[in-house]
């Protein structure tokens, strides 16, 4: 995700900003920029690529300025940004800061402005000129249009017109020594110095200068000058903030206080899901069809779907296959990209190839994309990294806006891939007339509410940690489920293998008796998933088969399917307990862990959370290097 830094005080601003940005590099970025005020003029400089390119450009600008241009060395106020592209490809123009028409208002922004299209149209009609493809650029223009001499008031009025998630920092030469910052669903921290103040989206950028901070809450606005920081709520009422003293060291701070990036990314899933889903669904649950990839005329051409991917992305494809067939009644196959490319697949121009990848650089997936395209298929990429090779080579793209994923084990990318594929299935279901309008809206509303369900699944982490400690002492484990649960079981076994090095297998629950049951001996851990009402009784019978052979079953299911405490049918929370608490009276050899209630078609994104946590805590218990498992790389760019 993007990074923000800001400074007001007596020091030269540029070195402070560049140092802060370098401390945020670990978050991943594709471009960087700064805007500083030298007392007379603004120097704005931005570059696609690494920070070193920005530094070189700044050195050049300062030298070239030579008394005529702004002098960055004199600047004592400024804002800086590392961008991780969402709207618009990585480029110099799309990098932040963005300015208004007059160059009086400069803005850096993290997050997504959902209603930027309508704002841009409105502003363009009033004569504003836009230079980038970003959603961010509407903000300085809005401020410009609302400014009547009071910067704080104009920023407040502008941000009230924004829908979505944002952390924004604003600088204006009309108000020297002042920064205005607003937080809405995207983190922002003020660093408190002596005669100077700092701003950052993440604590590591501040630690060199101060450990005293104000953590801004939702809707709060901060006005920073060298000697004061004033914070107000959404209604403009002053807020008395408590100073939060940071005690973490820099490496802990990069991980937001979590022990590993993987755990941080697991916990980022609610945010990642809202960024991916909220801009694409109305509050009523209807899919906004503005993206090219959702164009009804283009989609009408296809008679079948092939979902092509590797590893975790392939497991997301398995969920996609179920949902496309169930909701849109279109034949769908999920296939490993490394197999697809060599088997002369039966693919033609009636086929939609959905190519799924977090990195957008996986060699096998790229090759499958080319194979499908060469055979005439339409290619839709579901990709996380904007401007990546797969995004560029595909005909159309639906981005997952999960933010950068640093841990080798993919977590938040998976849930966002599942969310996008669900949205696609829902959309195709409507277009093909297989999903009635009211039913589609109901599912759309549940999909929009998925981040909250995932949040509840995360609240059961302590219980999953107990289970993980028991599993960690074994060398083999099994995961079983039926239908969508089998798809999740496959992702669960990969996660466990990959980071804990425990040998794990996923089986369709009904298939155990055809061979695998021979491997179940007293104490063998078997994780059973049962989230599907029409299949849960069958899965329970398979659980009994395991139990009868002495296997130890950990059953993950919503209370409505086990009869245990938890959310009732009306969605009430479990009396006295969070999610994933012990559920129904456990029979000997079966432990029940309760999952949050959710529409069964959306269960994978919730059920995968305890599976990710199980793998994580088992790996920690075994002393494994969680973020960098042996022999594996984050992006596999070789065949």
For CA atoms 118, 124, 128, 129, the dihedral sign is positive
Q: Is residue 498 a contact point for ligand M6R (CB under 6 A)?
A: yes
Output the DSSP codes for 499-515. HH--EEEEEEGGGGGGT
When binding is defined by CB under 6 A, the residue of 276, 338, 359, 532 that contacts ligand M6R is 359
The answer to the question of residue 362 lying near ligand M6R (CB under 6 A) is yes
DSSP for 567-632, written as a single string: S-TT-PPPTT--TT-B-S-PPTTEEEEEEPP--GGGHHHHHHHHHHHHHHHHHHHTT--SSS-TT-
Taking the mean position of all CA atoms in its chain, how far away is CA 359? 13
Place of tokens 């970025």: 29
How far apart CA 243 and CA 582 sit, in angstroms, is: 38
Q: Which of these ranges, 1-9, 270-278, 304-312, 542-550, lies near ligand M6R under the rule CB under 6 A?
A: 304-312
Which segment (26-34, 154-162, 265-273, 357-365) binds ligand M6R by CB under 6 A? Answer: 357-365
Instruction: Read off the tokens for 433.
Output: 């007339």
CA 184 from centroid of its chain's CA atoms: 16
Q: Which of 2/356 has CB closer to ligand M6R?
A: 356
How far apart CA 69 and CA 38 sit, in angstroms, is 10
Write down the least CB distance from residue 344 to ligand M6R, Å. Answer: 23
431 burial level (CB within 10 Å; 0-12, 13-18, 19+): middle
> Of residues 497, 538, 628, 634, which has the active-site annotation?
634
Which stretch of DSSP H or E encloses residue 476?
Answer: strand 476-481
Q: How far apart are the first and last CA of the chain?
A: 28
Q: Which helix (H) or strand (E) holds 141?
A: helix 138-146
The alpha carbon dihedral of 416, 421, 426, 428 has a sign of: positive
- Residue 71 DSSP symbol: -
> Is 363 or 582 the residue whose CB approaches ligand M6R more closely?
363
Confirm or reject binding of residue 400 to ligand M6R (CB under 6 A): no
Q: Is 327 in the site for ligand M6R (CB under 6 A)?
A: no
Nearest distance from residue 417's CB to ligand M6R, in Å?
8
Task: Identify which range of 192-200, 404-412, 439-447, 512-520 contacts ligand M6R by CB under 6 A.
Answer: 404-412
Residue of 94, 358, 532, 539 that binds ligand M6R (CB under 6 A): 358
Q: Which of 2, 310, 416, 624 is catalytic?
A: 2
DSSP H or E stretch at residue 112: strand 106-113
Q: Point out which span in 185-193, 282-290, 406-414, 481-489 binds ligand M6R (CB under 6 A).
A: 406-414
Shortest Å distance, C-beta 16 to ligand M6R: 35
Least distance CB 138 / ligand M6R (angstroms): 31
Q: Is the CB of 564 or the CB of 629 nearer to ligand M6R?
A: 629
Answer yes or no: 2 catalytic: yes
Check residue 269 for interaction with ligand M6R (CB under 6 A).
Answer: no
When asked if residue 379 is in the footprint of ligand M6R (CB under 6 A), the reply is: no
Q: Which is nearer to ligand M6R, 400 or 560 (CB)?
A: 400
Bridge partners for 593 per DSSP:
556, 582
Q: Which span (101-109, 353-361, 564-572, 608-616) binds ligand M6R, by CB under 6 A?
A: 353-361
Q: Is there binding between residue 410 and ligand M6R (CB under 6 A)?
A: yes
* Tokens linked to 96: 């932040």
Pick one of 22, 77, 357, 389: the residue that binds ligand M6R (CB under 6 A): 357
Q: Which residues bind ligand M6R (CB under 6 A)?
A: 310-313, 357-359, 362, 365, 408-410, 498, 632, 635-636
The residues annotated as belonging to the active site are 2, 634
């Amino acid at each position: 995700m993007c990074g923000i830094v800001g400074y007001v005080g007596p020091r030269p601003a540029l070195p402070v900003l560049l140092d802060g940005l370098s401390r945020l590099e670990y978050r991943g970025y594709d471009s960087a920029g700064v805007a500083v005020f030298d007392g007379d003029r603004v120097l704005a400089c931005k570059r696609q690529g690494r920070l070193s390119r920005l530094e070189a450009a700044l050195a050049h600008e300062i030298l070239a300025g030579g008394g005529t241009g702004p002098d960055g060395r004199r600047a004592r106020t400024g804002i800086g940004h590392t961008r991780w592209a969402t709207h618009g490809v990585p480029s110099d123009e799309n990098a932040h800061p963005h300015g208004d028409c007059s160059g009086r208002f400069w803005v850096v922004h993290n997050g997504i402005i959902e209603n930027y299209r309508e704002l841009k149209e409105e502003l363009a009609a009033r004569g504003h000129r836009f230079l980038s493809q970003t959603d961010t650029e509407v903000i300085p223009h809005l401020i410009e249009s609302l400014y009547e001499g009071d910067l704080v008031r104009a920023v407040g009025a502008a941000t009230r017109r924004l829908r979505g998630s944002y952390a924004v920092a604003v600088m204006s030469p009309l108000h020297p020594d002042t920064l205005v910052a607003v937080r809405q669903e995207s983190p922002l921290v003020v660093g408190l110095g002596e005669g100077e103040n700092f701003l950052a989206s993440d604590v590591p950028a501040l630690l060199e200068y101060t450990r005293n901070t104000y953590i801004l809450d939702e809707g709060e606005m901060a006005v920073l000058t060298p000697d004061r920081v004033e914070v107000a709520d959404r209604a403009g009422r002053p807020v008395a903030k408590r100073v939060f003293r940071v005690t973490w060291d820099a490496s802990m701070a990069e991980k937001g206080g979590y022990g590993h990036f993987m755990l941080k990314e697991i916990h980022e899933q609610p945010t990642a899901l809202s960024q991916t889903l909220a801009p694409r669904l109305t509050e009523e649950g209807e899919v906004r069809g503005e993206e090219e990839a959702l164009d009804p005329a283009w989609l009408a051409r296809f008679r079948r779907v092939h979902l092509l991917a590797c590893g975790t992305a392939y497991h997301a494809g398995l969920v996609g296959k179920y949902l496309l067939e169930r909701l849109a009644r279109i034949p769908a196959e999920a296939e490993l990209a490394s197999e697809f490319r060599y088997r002369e697949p039966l693919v033609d121009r009636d086929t939609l190839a959905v190519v799924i990848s977090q990195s957008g650089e996986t060699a096998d997936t790229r090759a499958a994309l080319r194979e499908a395209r060469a055979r005439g298929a339409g290619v839709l990429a579901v990709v996380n990294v904007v401007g990546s090779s797969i995004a560029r080579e595909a005909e159309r793209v639906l981005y997952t806006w999960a933010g950068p994923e640093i841990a080798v084990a993919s977590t938040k990318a998976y849930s966002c891939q599942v969310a996008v594929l669900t949205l696609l299935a829902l959309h195709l279901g409507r277009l093909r007339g297989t999903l009635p309008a009211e039913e589609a809206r109901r599912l759309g509303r549940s999909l929009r509410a998925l981040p909250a369900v995932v949040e509840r699944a995360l609240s059961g982490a302590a219980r999953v940690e107990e289970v993980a400690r028991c599993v960690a002492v074994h060398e083999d484990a099994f995961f079983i489920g039926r239908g969508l649960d089998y798809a999740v079981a496959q992702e669960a076994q990969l996660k466990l293998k990959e980071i804990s090095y425990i040998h794990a297998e996923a089986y369709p629950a009904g298939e155990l008796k055809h061979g695998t049951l021979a491997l179940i001996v007293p104490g063998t851990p078997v994780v059973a998933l049962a989230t599907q009402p029409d299949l849960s009784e069958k899965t329970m019978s398979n659980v009994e088969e395991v139990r009868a052979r002495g296997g130890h079953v950990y059953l993950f299911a919503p209370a409505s399917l086990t009869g245990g405490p938890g959310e009732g049918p009306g969605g009430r929370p479990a009396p006295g307990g969070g999610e994933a608490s012990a559920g129904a009276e456990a029979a000997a050899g079966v432990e029940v862990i309760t999952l949050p209630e959710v529409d069964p078609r959306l269960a994978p994104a919730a059920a995968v959370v305890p599976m990710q946590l199980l793998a994580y805590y088992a790996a920690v218990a075994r002393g494994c290097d969680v973020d960098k498992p042996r022999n594996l790389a984050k992006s596999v760019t070789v065949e």
